[in-house]
Amino acid sequence: MQLKRMFSTDGVKGTVNYLDVQKKYEICRTAIYFAISISLFAAGYIQTGEKTNLLTIAAILGCLPASKSAVNAIMFLRFKSCGEQAAEEIAQHSQGLQCLYDMVFTSYKKNYVIGHMAVRGGNICGFSEDGKLEEKEFYQHISDILKLDGHQNVNVKIFTNLSKYTERLEQMKVLEEEAERTQAILATLKSVAL
């Protein structure tokens, strides 16, 4: 509960509970879009007594953004935010580091859910609650993305053990900050995450 007071949960990518907030947003938006289309169809039918009218056409066209929104909702329903206990433990050890929460990286073969990432200079470390995370494939995927965006010599390490991860966070605090490089890497990571 304390963590929710510390961090914004407004659905901004990279913040605590981003995935959970985004799920609710996408579901509500989808319901509203479909409700608009249904109400347009009903209004046209009630007014003319026929299915063939201009409001029916508007209702059918309204199903396009509603369907797109439904696809987005399904994508977000597949993933869950970093656990509250893990997020609280991480928050105690990540002060002073540039961090991202609830990052989902998609590739052609697999999706990688990283609950938390910290970036300092050319070093990225992350924590995933997914015990089946294929680390080598993720390293290759994220390294390729970083190289394409012009980031060279970036060290990436993902942990599935929380205590080892928090230990690494403490070690990262003594590394050289390189603020400009850190911000550039953060921007790249945000741009390629769901």
Position 11 confidence tier, pLDDT thresholds 50, 70, 90: low
Q: Which of 6-20, 57-71, 77-91, 97-111 has the highest mean pLDDT?
A: 57-71
How far is C-alpha 44 from the geometric centre of its chain's CA atoms? 39
Q: What is the mean pLDDT of residues 121-144?
A: 86
pLDDT for 16 equals 86
Q: What is the mean pLDDT of residues 76-98?
A: 88
Read off the tokens for 124: 């990225």
Task: Answer with the residue of higher pLDDT: 175 or 47.
Answer: 47
Nearby residues of 37 by Cβ (< 8 Å), 6 or more positions away? 59, 60, 62, 63, 66
Position 84 confidence tier, pLDDT thresholds 50, 70, 90: confident
pLDDT for 5 equals 38
Q: What is the mean pLDDT of residues 114-134?
A: 88
Which of 29, 37, 104 minimizes the C-alpha distance to 69? 29
Query: Strand (E) positions, the chain?
Result: 98-106, 111-120, 123-127, 155-159
Position 40 confidence tier, pLDDT thresholds 50, 70, 90: very high
Task: Answer with the residue of higher pLDDT: 2 or 40.
Answer: 40
Residue 193 has pLDDT above 70, yes or no: yes
